[in-house]
Amino acid sequence: MNELFEAGNFYTGPPLSAEMVSRAEGFLGLRLPSTYIEVLLRKNGGVLKRRRFPTQFATSWAADHFEICALLGIGGKWGIDSLSGMGSADLVAEWGYPQIGVVIFDMPSGGHDAVMLDYSESGPEGEPAVVYIDEDRVPRKVAGSFEEFLSRLVPCIPLI
């Protein structure tokens, strides 16, 4: 899964350990998807090669898609469990996202929209869906799982 990531270590946390995962799950109060953990074991967050997600609805980003900047890992400044102001709990509080789960991607908008793992239907031990949160703060389900979300990302179209 390293082919998911661009070269470089921006947004990348320390090498992931089972203890870090356990600590993050305890802090967040939920079980993280196994596919998310598998990806982070290879590289603990970073800029993805494919960052465009096609949608059937308009977003504040575009008429038919949104973009992500990077996958957030566990631990370090950019980790979902970080207390640096960049962790999921801080982002939810600062930007008024719904209390449904975990912010897992940094976005080009700098907080005006988000992509989250949504535990509202699965409960904290279940497999969360992935939702897009736009400026209206309404969760829109875009994938049934983290694995499905990754599989539907496409390369960004270069601007001419």
pTM: 0.94
Q: What is the predicted pLDDT for the residue at 158?
A: 66
pLDDT tens digits along 30-73: 999 999 999 999 999 999 999 999 999 999 989 999 999 999 99
Q: What is the mean pLDDT of residues 117-144?
A: 97
Q: What is the mean pLDDT of residues 148-153?
A: 97
Alpha-carbon distance of 53 to 108, in angstroms, equals 13
Q: What is the predicted pLDDT for the residue at 1?
A: 44
Model confidence band, residue 159 (pLDDT cutoffs 50, 70, 90): low
Cα dist from 18 to 15, 35, 37, 101, whole Å: 10, 14, 9, 21
Model confidence band, residue 160 (pLDDT cutoffs 50, 70, 90): low
> Going from the N-terminus, what domains does the chain have, and what CATH number goes with each?
2-152 (3.40.1580.10)
DSSP 2: G
Give the contacts of 120 (CB within 8 A, at least 6 positions apart): 100, 101, 139
Phi, psi of 134 (to 5 degrees): -95, -170
pLDDT tens digits along 11-31: 999 999 999 999 999 999 999
